Structure 1
Amino acid sequence: MSKHPLRIDANEHAATALRLIHRFSWLRPTELGRLLYPRNKHARKYAEKLLRKLTALRLVIERKLPGRSAGTAYVVSTRGATKLDTWADVHKGYKSGKDWGAYQNGVWYPPNSWQHDLWAIGVASLLAEQLGHEVLPDSYLRQTAPSEVKYPDALLVCRDKGFSAWLEVESSRKTGKNLDQLVRAVIGASRGKPLAYFDEVQDTPVKVGIIAILVGARDERGYNLDHWGRFERKLQALGGVKAPVTLIRCWMSLKGVGVGSIRIDHITLSPYNQPIKNP
């Protein structure tokens, strides 16, 4: 007896996985599992099963990330983008992720930003898992609001409580003007005055600023990097704060190249704040 042809329906878990991959531009099984099956110890395994189906249907493309145990990223194929369009109530113009990264001498390489982007995806997926927030990643916001002057690494949307949080991931690649914007973005969001406004969160305005910081960060020479100290020094260079403001720090710990866990604390900055040591 022959097997039934493999197919996918718009309302099944594999279809939800395909939509999430498009929303984030790319996902590994680890982060996809967190988003689909929060707090489930078998989340990655379930995600891998869905990805096998999507791969068999040629709706996604596998991209091997560089480095030991970095894993595989999945992007939406041209066929996958067409499938998403057929499910949409109106034509959305879904796009393939086949051009994510580039080939050099026949070898595929991800964009230079992939490590930072993976940390942002990892933090956002863990926050969503722990707090139940919806995630609007940078890539999605750029698609839906292409003319904004500043984008967060992600917006965490809490629709039942009517607010959103602006997430910035501090890393050594954010220097100069980029670090200025990071500080202004987190402080502005914490005061309910974000650097950009998005139609997607009109009913859940940004009222919270989150800065994610890598615990035990080191530079290429092996020296410790004090990312929170960088934030404080840049804030002071920009004139400090004129009135107390409370923001959220999210301390990241890695597992391999991705974010394995986070720890959250709140800190209130004032014009008279003394330097605060990293925990």
Structure 2
Amino acid sequence: MSEHNADAYRVMALYWISRFGWLRSREIGQLLLATPVTLDGVPHTGPAIDDAQRKFTHRVLHRLLADKQIIPRLLPKSAGTAYVLSAAGARYLAKQDSTLRPRAGDTWGRSVAGVWSAPNSWEHELLCCILLIYFHQSGYKILTEVELRAQNPRMIKYPDGFVIDTRGTAPKVFWVEVESATKKGRKMMRLAQYLTMVQRGDAPVMSGIKADKAFVAFRTDILDTSGARIDHLNRVKAALSRHIGAPLRLAFFEVSVRNAQYHLDAVVRRVETVFPIGADDPNVHKLFTCTRTGLYQCDRFDIHGRRWLLQVSIIHDHYSWQIFDPHGKETRSYVDRSKESCFRYVVDTFNTEFYERPLSDVEIASFAQAATVQ
């Protein structure tokens, strides 16, 4: 490898580290040498690919470390070493390409008395890296969460990345959600809301791009604090069923790794149809959560992604139900002797009268203005 080529590969390594925030040598090697070849130009196969990438990346990283352009960070659980940009590395990369705005990664994680420790989110970030690089190697373009956050400040929610399929006449953009922890409450509700919005064609515009579809990826062997396996597939489906008003098809990617060093083993795609919990469903009461004041409340999203509040309350010896629109205004109410009847009627009323309710002129103007700002 000539000195000119060596410099080019070092810049490329800094470039990819800046896009993800941090990377291990394994992922850097996959990005620098997607298909390594022998001295005779013959592509390596099998385990020889990993060995060639490892040796090549070692030489590139050794020079970057000597020039103090990257900082090594030891990850927990024998997951290897992460590399982030130093201030010098960020400055050097910016000089090579004036369009880039790289940031030093020396604030990633935390240091106490000179001892560095990884952030709690490191495993989630690593899984995102592995998955996006998998799609990159498969011929797709990618945008990382780091890039989306830098280019689109003050958004309510960010995906874990975009995967862009440029094959065909029109590119297809996929909103990526990677699940690695037990989301609960408002976080799970927001996930369900945005997955529904994207699948229904109402994704927010980011970096001048509007996602066409979404998919959820997860590891199949993640355990919670009690040691039980987290069933991400059914948890996400259950959250969606509580918020959608019509069946929704969504792709899921099951990711498996083969050792403690997080080497990707397989990615399996499956498409699931999620059905809403309807008024005649025996589990309709599970849509509602009881507040400390005794109110039963349920958030439902209409076809436009707007959030409505369904509420059931007890008044002396009978019950009442109310529906509040996205602006908090009560739009429908009724009184009944049975709590179960209230659950069923309020859900049925929302599905039949409000789920497909057209946008008002004010809402259309507001959505158009938000899209222009983004």
TM-score range, shorter chain: 0.7 to 0.9
* Worse-matched range after superposition: 45-54 or 145-154: 45-54
Match of 2:117 among 88, 99, 109: 109
Match of 1:58 among 68, 89, 97: 68
**1:49-198 matched pairs, under 5 angstroms:** 49-67=59-77, 69-90=78-99, 92-129=100-137, 131-161=138-168, 162-194=171-203, 196-198=204-206
Question: Is residue 234 of structure 1 aligned with residue 239 of structure 2?
Answer: yes
Amino acid at match of 2:21: S
* Worse-matched range after superposition: 180-189 or 19-28: 180-189
Q: CA deviation at 1:105?
A: 2.6
* Worse-matched range after superposition: 42-51 or 212-221: 42-51
Question: Is residue 214 of structure 1 aligned with residue 219 of structure 2?
Answer: yes
Q: Report if the CA contact (8 A) 1:29-1:48 is conserved.
A: yes
Q: Distance in 2 between matches of 1:51 and 1:247?
A: 40
Shift in alpha-carbon separation, 1:44–1:219, aligned structure 2, 3 A: same
Aligned counterpart, 1:250: 253
Q: Report if the CA contact (8 A) 2:182-2:230 is conserved.
A: no
Q: Report the identity percentage.
A: 28
Q: CA deviation at 1:17?
A: 1.1
TM-score by length of 2: 0.63
Q: Secondary structure at the match of 2:216?
A: strand
Say which one has the larger Rg. 2
Q: Report if the CA contact (8 A) 1:241-1:269 is conserved.
A: no
Q: Distance in 2 between matches of 1:228 and 1:17?
A: 35
TM-score by length of 1: 0.83
Gaps of 5+ in 1: 274-279
Q: Distance in 2 between matches of 1:39 and 1:241?
A: 46
Gaps of 5+ in 2: 37-48, 278-374
Amino acid at match of 1:21: I
Q: Report if the CA contact (8 A) 1:210-1:248 is conserved.
A: yes
Q: Report if the CA contact (8 A) 1:133-1:157 is conserved.
A: yes
Q: Report if the CA contact (8 A) 2:246-2:276 is conserved.
A: no
Q: CA deviation at 1:270?
A: 4.8
Q: Report if the CA contact (8 A) 1:187-1:247 is conserved.
A: no
Q: CA deviation at 1:253?
A: 1.0
Amino acid at match of 2:206: F
Shift in alpha-carbon separation, 1:210–1:74, aligned structure 2, 3 A: same
Q: CA deviation at 1:103?
A: 0.7
Q: Distance in 2 between matches of 1:71 and 1:52?
A: 16
Q: Distance in 2 between matches of 1:58 and 1:89?
A: 21
Q: Secondary structure at the match of 1:258?
A: coil
Match of 1:26 among 22, 41, 65: 22
Q: Distance in 1 between matches of 2:208 and 2:55?
A: 32
Q: Report if the CA contact (8 A) 1:126-1:262 is conserved.
A: no
Shift in alpha-carbon separation, 1:185–1:45, aligned structure 2, 3 A: farther
Q: Report if the CA contact (8 A) 2:160-2:176 is conserved.
A: yes
Aligned counterpart, 2:265: 261
Shift in alpha-carbon separation, 1:78–1:246, aligned structure 2, 3 A: same
Shift in alpha-carbon separation, 1:164–1:47, aligned structure 2, 3 A: farther
Q: Distance in 1 between matches of 2:149 and 2:83?
A: 19
Aligned counterpart, 1:223: 228
Shift in alpha-carbon separation, 1:174–1:33, aligned structure 2, 3 A: farther
Identify the structure with bigger relative contact order (alpha carbons < 8 Å, sequence gap 6+): 1
Give the superposed CA RMSD. Answer: 2.5
Shift in alpha-carbon separation, 1:135–1:216, aligned structure 2, 3 A: same
Q: Distance in 1 between matches of 2:5 and 2:30?
A: 25
Q: Distance in 2 between matches of 1:103 and 1:220?
A: 25
Q: Report if the CA contact (8 A) 1:7-1:57 is conserved.
A: no
Q: CA deviation at 1:183?
A: 2.4
Q: Report if the CA contact (8 A) 1:34-1:43 is conserved.
A: yes
Shift in alpha-carbon separation, 1:181–1:31, aligned structure 2, 3 A: farther
Q: CA deviation at 1:60?
A: 0.7
Shift in alpha-carbon separation, 1:152–1:50, aligned structure 2, 3 A: same
Q: Distance in 2 between matches of 1:119 and 1:208?
A: 20
Q: Distance in 2 between matches of 1:127 and 1:114?
A: 20
Shift in alpha-carbon separation, 1:71–1:264, aligned structure 2, 3 A: same
Shift in alpha-carbon separation, 1:189–1:58, aligned structure 2, 3 A: same
